[in-house]
Amino acid sequence: MAWWKAWIEQEGVTVKSSSHFNPDPDAETLYKAMKGIGVGSQLLSHQAAVFTLPSSTLTSASPWGGHSRCIPAGTNEQAIIDVLTKRSNAQRQQIAKSFKAQFGKDLTETLKSELSGKFERLIVALMYLPYRYEAKELHDAMKGSRDDVSSFVDPGLALQDAQDLYAAGEKIRGTDEMKFITILCTRSATHLLRVKCTRNLHSYFAERLYYAMKGAGTRDGTLIRNIVSRSEIDLNLIKCHFKKMYGKTLSSMIMEDTSGDYKNALLSLVGSDP
């Protein structure tokens, strides 16, 4: 029943297309959030801070006995979060095209130049087309050699491999031999055993997210990759399994384990608790 499948998929997403979407004002908002639009009253209201400097350092006095000057307040991270975490990937691609047309700059490269750290990594991940993001993550994971050197098995990757192998072999006529070669030649024996045992999609992604944050330190790459890649597929369903399995919500664990703009962006993508 196609309508039932479509309903389930729609219920599962945490990031949906924005209604009445127009990429041009979104692109302008991002531009102002990162670069400003010049000094003046328009800039002052959103992008500048007013500082009072001693009159001895400047020639013209202000009504307060000092001298007022508009100083750009820097990057408005919250504005970036509000736009990019509340638009679908397809809409983000349209925003990027509008940004380039209006301001002659590549949006992703501009974001990279303005942001830093884990927040930058998360926001830039949102700008990839889904298949390109998956390809990048696979490439990064495969740098070097087969992962026999580590005893840790990524259950989400094992699950994805299981689905890919099924799609490449059993599900369709013929065989995608390249897919088999990629998986079977680059995964450890432990990993491949996990692929064989993989069963429940949402439970495994819930487990993956939990162990990305459990204990000392955070596996930020795993956390970002799963939230970004599943936010337009089934993250709501994963959140429900997360709560059943661990007795706490995904968002509460994110709040405990992350901070700042990085935390705010993750929470915006995850959405409300089940």
Q: In the numeric block, which tokens belong to residue 120?
A: 């930058």
Asked if residue 144 belongs to a known ligand binding site, the reply is: no
- Tell me the per-residue pLDDT of 217-260, one tens digit each, with 9 for 90 and over: 888 988 999 899 889 888 999 999 999 999 999 999 999 999 99
Alpha-carbon distance of 256 to 241, in angstroms, equals: 19
**Is 117 marked as binding a ligand?**
no
Token pair 């500082």 in the structure block, residue: 51
Q: Confirm whether residue 215 is marked as ligand binding.
A: yes
Q: Confirm or deny that 140 is annotated as ligand binding.
A: no
DSSP state of 39: S
- Give the side-chain half-sphere CA count within 13 A for 82: 10
Q: What is the pLDDT of residues 8-44, one digit of tens each?
A: 455 778 888 888 899 999 999 999 999 754 333 333 3
- Picking from 65-74, 157-166, 186-195, 244-253, which range would have the lowest pLDDT averaged per residue? 65-74
* pLDDT at residue 37, rounded to an integer: 42
Mean pLDDT of the chain: 75
d(CA 214, CA 151): 17
The residue with greater pLDDT, 95 or 3, is: 95
Confirm if 250 and 241 have CB atoms less than 8 A apart. Answer: no
The pTM (predicted TM-score) of the whole model is 0.67
